[in-house]
Structure 1
Amino acid sequence: MTIDALAATPRLAVIAHEDLQSCAADALLTGFARSLAGEGWPIGGVVHARRLDAAGRKRMFLIDVASGREFCISQDLGPQSRACCVDPGAVAQASGVLRQALADRVRLAIVNRFGELEATGGGFAAELAALAGEGVPVLTAVSRKHLQAWRHFAGDAGIELPLDVQALHDWAQRACAPAAEGASAAPGKAA
């Protein structure tokens, strides 16, 4: 579904990207969140950052877009590990940011990604569904390897956007417009 083909703008939007573009998607979401906050939009959610810790190890963080609070979501599995190093407990702790965004009735929620955890029903899946179900537009990112799971999750309530800031702005203006309220079904509830 493209943004031009919409009669009613879906409340769930995802930046669909190739695996090698995940850093670009992270940067786009972070920049977009900063731009909206700078314009005075009441937004909530988390964005993703990668950087080295004090010991020089690569770490992943979720950053609360409203407060700047950081959650380290990397766990040290040892140098020989090839498993996913995302710490589900830290993700669960960061999910409180999304629940607070729902309680605050933000204008738009940004979620770092729909990844492996969400594709299997964990991670932020419940929070994504709760936000969209309560009419809060949600923007996230998904790599191609999880795109089918995203499509199953979002159903008719979702739209796929390119890695393009103007496409994000266009969607956000339409999804957050008062006339769009109640226009789309919640995830898992096809219209």
Structure 2
Amino acid sequence: MLGYVVSEGRGEGDRLIHAVATRLRAAGVPLAGAVQTNEDRDPTRKCDMDLHILSGHDVVRISQDLGRLSRGCRLDPDGLERAAGLVAAALADGPALLIVNKFGKQEIDGRGFRPLIGDALAEGIPVLTAVNRGNVDAFLDFAADLAEPLPGDVDAIIAWCMAHRQAA
């Protein structure tokens, strides 16, 4: 019960997962997890990345401003871990579904939301995430036979979520 979509374009997975979570919340499905939004600041700087915690109204900035000429990873690991802590608290309430905005480098390295994905699956809570094409092999190594690929279509993903959600 680990559904995933492969995101193709920059920010496409974020937008897709956000749209799914928005509709599920509107339908009253109890969720744990986080979705990402990217806010452009100005044309000379990279966007700000924020995680919106689905069990409440918290927003956690997960990007760092490293300057205009930076080329390194802008992810703020402390912000990501703070978001994961908020999601862990919500996971204890037994949601119908865990949504993780993406299975990225931090998760590949065993950090970020990776432990929560394992916890949710162990509790029988289905998980939905997005995976960048370059991370699919590492994701499948982690997920093994639990991974179920989903089409990049909001309605199809919602149908999967509704069919697999844990009874509240």
TM (norm. structure 1) is 0.80
Which residue, 3, 15, 35 being the options, matches 1:13?
A: 3
Instruction: Map 1:26-65; keep pairs closer than 5 Å.
Output: 26-52=14-40, 57=45, 58-65=47-54
Give 1 or 2 for the bigger CA radius of gyration. 1
2-structure distance, mates of 1:177, 1:74? 32
Runs ≥4 in structure 1, deviation > 4 angstroms? none
Counterpart check, 1:101 vs 2:90: yes
- In the alignment, what sits opposite 1:4? none
Which residue, 128, 140, 149 being the options, matches 2:138?
A: 149
1-structure distance, mates of 2:65, 2:105? 18
- In the alignment, what sits opposite 2:100? 111
Structure 2 unpaired stretches of 5+: none
Change (3 A) 1:86 1:175: same
2-structure distance, mates of 1:32, 1:147? 21
Deviation at 1:69, TM superposition (A): 1.1
2-structure distance, mates of 1:177, 1:79? 45
1-structure distance, mates of 2:40, 2:5? 26
Which residue, 142, 151, 167 being the options, matches 2:156?
A: 167
For the aligned residue pairs, the C-alpha RMSD in angstroms reads 1.8
For 2:34, what is the secondary structure of its paired residue? Answer: strand
TM (norm. structure 2) is 0.90
Q: How many residues are matched?
A: 165
Change (3 A) 1:129 1:87: same
**Contact residue 13 and residue 158 of structure 1 kept, 8 A:** yes
For 1:135, what is the secondary structure of its paired residue? Answer: coil
For 2:136, what is the secondary structure of its paired residue? Answer: helix
